[in-house]
Structure 1
Amino acid sequence: MKKNYILGLIATVFLFVFQQGQAQNELNDNQFGSLIQNWLDQNKEKYDLLENDLSNLLVTDAYFSKKTRINHVYVNQGYQGVKIHNAVSSVAVKDNYVFYYANGLISDIETKINTVTPTINAEGAINTVVNHYNLGSLSDLVLINSSNNNYEFSTGNVSKVNIPVTLVYQPIENGEIKLAWDLNIQSLNGKNWYSVRVDAVNGQILDTNDWVVSCNFGDGNHLGHTNHEANEDDTFNLFKSTSMMVDGSQYSVFPIPFKNPTDGPLTLVSEPANIIASPFGWHDTNGVTGAEFNITRGNNVYAQEDQNGNDGFGAAPNGGATLNFDYSSSAITLRPTEFQDLSLTNLFYINNIMHDVWYQYGFDEVSGNFQQNNYGNGGAQNDYVIADGQDGIAFNNANFSTPPDGFNPGMQMFLWDTNSSPLNINSGGTLLGEVVASIPPNDVDNNITGPSNIPVTADLVIVDDGTGATSSEGCNALINGAELNGKIAVIKRGSCNFTAKIQNAQNAGAVGVIMVNHNNPTNDPTYTEYVNMAGLTNPAFTIPSIFINNADGEELILALQNNTVINATIFRALVDGSLDNEIVAHEYGHGISTRLAGGASNSNCLGNAEQMGEGWSDWFGMMITMKATDQPTDARGFVTYSSGQGLDGPGIRPAPYSTDTSINGLTYASTNDVTTISQPHGIGTVWATVLWDLTWKYIEKYGFDADVYNGSGGNNKIMQLVIDGIKLQGCNAGFVAGRNGILAADMAITGGEDQCMIWEAFAARGVGFTASQGSFGSRTDQVENFDTPPDTDASLQNCTSLSVDEFKTSNYSIFPNPANNVLNIKVKKSFGDVTMTLTDINGRIVLTKNANLSSDAQLNISALQSGMYILTIKGEGINTNDKILKN
Structure 2
Amino acid sequence: MVAFNKFFASVFLAIIYASSGLAAPWPVSSKHPTGRLRIVGRGLKLNTFHPESSYETFGKGIDHPLRRRDDVGLEDRALVFVQSHLNIGSDAVAFRSGFAGEVSDHAFVHQTIDGIPVANAVANVAFNKDDKVVAFGSSFVKTNNAAPSIPTVALEDAIATAEDALDGTFNDHPPTLEFLALEDGSLRLTHVMQIQNEETAAWVEAFVDAHTKEILSITDFVTKASYLVLPITEEILTQGFQTLTDPEDLAGTPDGWHSDGTTNTTGNNAVSFKGATTATTTESAAGLVFNYPQDATIAPTVSANVDAARVNAWFLVNSIHDLSYRYGFTEAAFNFQNNNFGKGGVGNDRVTISVQDSAGVNNADFSTPPDGQSGAMRMFLWDITSPERDGALENDIVTHENTHGITNRMTGGGTGSSHSTTEAGGMGEGWSDTMADWNEKTSAAVPDYVLGQYVTNNPAGIRSHPYSTSATVNPLRYSSLTTLTEVHAIGEVWCNILHNVYAALVGAHGFSTTARTNPAGTEGNTVFLHLFIDALTLQPCNPTFLTARTAWIQADANRYASANACLLWNAFASRGLGTNAANHVDGTAVPAGC
Q: TM-score, normalised by structure 1?
A: 0.57
**Pair 118,704 (structure 1): closer, same or farther in 2 beyond 3 Å:** same
Residue 118 of structure 2 is aligned with which of 84, 88, 92? Answer: 84
Partner of 2:147: 114
From the CA coordinates, give the structure whose radius of gyration is larger: 1
**Pair 656,301 (structure 1): closer, same or farther in 2 beyond 3 Å:** same
SS of corresponding position for 2:258: coil
1:801-845 per-position Cα deviation (integer Å, ceiling 9, x unaligned): xxxxxxxxxxxxxxxxxxxxxxxxxxxxxxxxxxxxxxxxxxxxx
**Pair 359,115 (structure 1): closer, same or farther in 2 beyond 3 Å:** same
**1:301 partner letter:** A
Mapped to 1, the partners of 2:486 and 2:318 lie a distance apart of 29
Structure 1 residue 272: deviation in Å?
Answer: 0.4
Structure 1 residue 108: deviation in Å?
Answer: 2.9
Residue 393 of structure 1 is aligned with which of 355, 359, 376? Answer: 359
Q: Is the 8 A contact 2:200 2:359 kept in 1?
A: no
Structure 1 residue 2: deviation in Å?
Answer: 9.4
Q: Is the 8 A contact 2:478 2:585 kept in 1?
A: yes
Q: Is the 8 A contact 2:205 2:218 kept in 1?
A: yes
Partner of 1:845: none
Question: Which segment drifts farther, 725-734 or 196-205?
Answer: 196-205
Mapped to 2, the partners of 1:79 and 1:710 lie a distance apart of 46
Residue 135 of structure 2 is aligned with which of 76, 101, 111? Answer: 101
SS of corresponding position for 2:366: strand
Partner of 2:404: 590
Partner of 1:599: 413
Residue 482 of structure 2 is aligned with which of 661, 664, 672? Answer: 672
SS of corresponding position for 1:336: coil
Partner of 1:296: 265
Identity of aligned residues (%): 31
Partner of 1:346: 312
2:518 aligned with 1:710, yes or no?
A: yes
Mapped to 2, the partners of 1:379 and 1:312 lie a distance apart of 24
* Structure-to-structure mapping, 1:431-470, within 5 angstroms: none
Mapped to 2, the partners of 1:317 and 1:653 lie a distance apart of 36
Q: Is the 8 A contact 2:226 2:244 kept in 1?
A: yes
Residue 327 of structure 1 is aligned with which of 292, 309, 313? Answer: 292
Q: Is the 8 A contact 1:27 1:96 kept in 2?
A: no
Structure 1 residue 28: deviation in Å?
Answer: 7.9
Residue 284 of structure 1 is aligned with which of 245, 249, 259? Answer: 259
**Pair 40,96 (structure 1): closer, same or farther in 2 beyond 3 Å:** farther
Residue 305 of structure 1 is aligned with which of 270, 274, 291? Answer: 274
* Structure-to-structure mapping, 1:668-817, within 5 angstroms: 668-673=478-483, 677-707=484-514, 708-710=516-518, 712=521, 713-773=523-583, 782-791=584-593
Structure 1 residue 175: deviation in Å?
Answer: 1.9
Unpaired segments of 5 or more residues in structure 1?
4-25, 45-49, 136-157, 215-248, 286-291, 421-572, 774-781, 797-887
Structure 1 residue 204: deviation in Å?
Answer: 1.6
Mapped to 1, the partners of 2:237 and 2:129 lie a distance apart of 48
Q: Is the 8 A contact 2:283 2:290 kept in 1?
A: yes
Structure 1 residue 379: deviation in Å?
Answer: 1.3
Structure 1 residue 764: deviation in Å?
Answer: 1.4
Q: Is the 8 A contact 1:294 1:320 kept in 2?
A: no
Structure 1 residue 281: deviation in Å?
Answer: 1.2
Partner of 2:31: none
Partner of 1:868: none
Structure 1 residue 27: deviation in Å?
Answer: 8.3
Q: Is the 8 A contact 1:763 1:787 kept in 2?
A: yes
SS of corresponding position for 1:251: strand
1:418-445 per-position Cα deviation (integer Å, ceiling 9, x unaligned): 444xxxxxxxxxxxxxxxxxxxxxxxxx
SS of corresponding position for 1:51: coil
Structure 1 residue 790: deviation in Å?
Answer: 3.3
1:526-563 per-position Cα deviation (integer Å, ceiling 9, x unaligned): xxxxxxxxxxxxxxxxxxxxxxxxxxxxxxxxxxxxxx
Structure 1 residue 206: deviation in Å?
Answer: 1.4
Q: Is the 8 A contact 2:99 2:332 kept in 1?
A: yes
**2:531 partner letter:** L
Mapped to 2, the partners of 1:640 and 1:51 lie a distance apart of 53
Partner of 2:221: 211
2:99 aligned with 1:63, yes or no?
A: yes
SS of corresponding position for 2:423: coil
**Pair 629,603 (structure 1): closer, same or farther in 2 beyond 3 Å:** closer
Mapped to 1, the partners of 2:405 and 2:540 lie a distance apart of 16
Structure 1 residue 385: deviation in Å?
Answer: 0.7
Q: Is the 8 A contact 2:444 2:511 kept in 1?
A: no
2:185 aligned with 1:175, yes or no?
A: yes
SS of corresponding position for 2:508: helix
Q: Is the 8 A contact 2:532 2:552 kept in 1?
A: yes
1:30-64 per-position Cα deviation (integer Å, ceiling 9, x unaligned): 433443344334433xxxxx434x53211111101
- Which consecutive aligned stretches of 4+ in structure 1 deviate over 4 angstroms post-superposition? 26-29
Mapped to 2, the partners of 1:678 and 1:638 lie a distance apart of 21
Structure 1 residue 741: deviation in Å?
Answer: 1.1
**1:710 partner letter:** N
SS of corresponding position for 1:58: strand
Mapped to 1, the partners of 2:185 and 2:533 lie a distance apart of 32
Q: Is the 8 A contact 1:636 1:658 kept in 2?
A: yes
SS of corresponding position for 2:183: coil
Q: Is the 8 A contact 2:75 2:107 kept in 1?
A: no
Mapped to 2, the partners of 1:27 and 1:184 lie a distance apart of 40
Partner of 2:206: 196
Mapped to 1, the partners of 2:150 and 2:419 lie a distance apart of 29
Mapped to 2, the partners of 1:771 and 1:115 lie a distance apart of 41
Structure 1 residue 74: deviation in Å?
Answer: 0.6
Mapped to 2, the partners of 1:257 and 1:132 lie a distance apart of 44
Structure 1 residue 655: deviation in Å?
Answer: 1.5
Give the RMSD, CA atoms, in angstroms. 2.1
Structure 1 residue 94: deviation in Å?
Answer: 2.1
Structure 1 residue 360: deviation in Å?
Answer: 0.7
Mapped to 2, the partners of 1:720 and 1:613 lie a distance apart of 17
* Structure-to-structure mapping, 1:369-388, within 5 angstroms: 369-388=335-354
Structure 1 residue 730: deviation in Å?
Answer: 1.8
Structure 1 residue 83: deviation in Å?
Answer: 0.5
Residue 241 of structure 2 is aligned with which of 250, 255, 266? Answer: 266
**1:36 partner letter:** A
1:215-247 per-position Cα deviation (integer Å, ceiling 9, x unaligned): xxxxxxxxxxxxxxxxxxxxxxxxxxxxxxxxx
1:135-191 per-position Cα deviation (integer Å, ceiling 9, x unaligned): 3xxxxxxxxxxxxxxxxxxxxxx24x3143211111111222211111111212152
Mapped to 1, the partners of 2:334 and 2:477 lie a distance apart of 32
**2:221 partner letter:** W
**2:219 partner letter:** N
Partner of 1:658: 468
Structure 1 residue 678: deviation in Å?
Answer: 4.4
Mapped to 1, the partners of 2:344 and 2:80 lie a distance apart of 28
Partner of 1:635: 448
**Pair 163,127 (structure 1): closer, same or farther in 2 beyond 3 Å:** farther
1:712-736 per-position Cα deviation (integer Å, ceiling 9, x unaligned): 2211111010100011102111111
Partner of 1:166: 176
Mapped to 2, the partners of 1:319 and 1:599 lie a distance apart of 40
SS of corresponding position for 1:772: coil
Partner of 2:250: 275
Q: Is the 8 A contact 2:97 2:108 kept in 1?
A: yes
Q: TM-score, normalised by structure 2?
A: 0.84
1:555-575 per-position Cα deviation (integer Å, ceiling 9, x unaligned): xxxxxxxxxxxxxxxxxx201
For these two proteins, the number of residue pairs brought into alignment is: 523
**Pair 2,617 (structure 1): closer, same or farther in 2 beyond 3 Å:** closer
1:282-314 per-position Cα deviation (integer Å, ceiling 9, x unaligned): 1113xxxxxx100011111111112xxxx5532
Q: Is the 8 A contact 2:121 2:141 kept in 1?
A: no
Q: Is the 8 A contact 2:385 2:456 kept in 1?
A: no
SS of corresponding position for 1:198: strand
Partner of 1:837: none
Higher RCO structure (Cα 8 Å, ≥6 apart):
2
* Structure-to-structure mapping, 1:517-528, within 5 angstroms: none
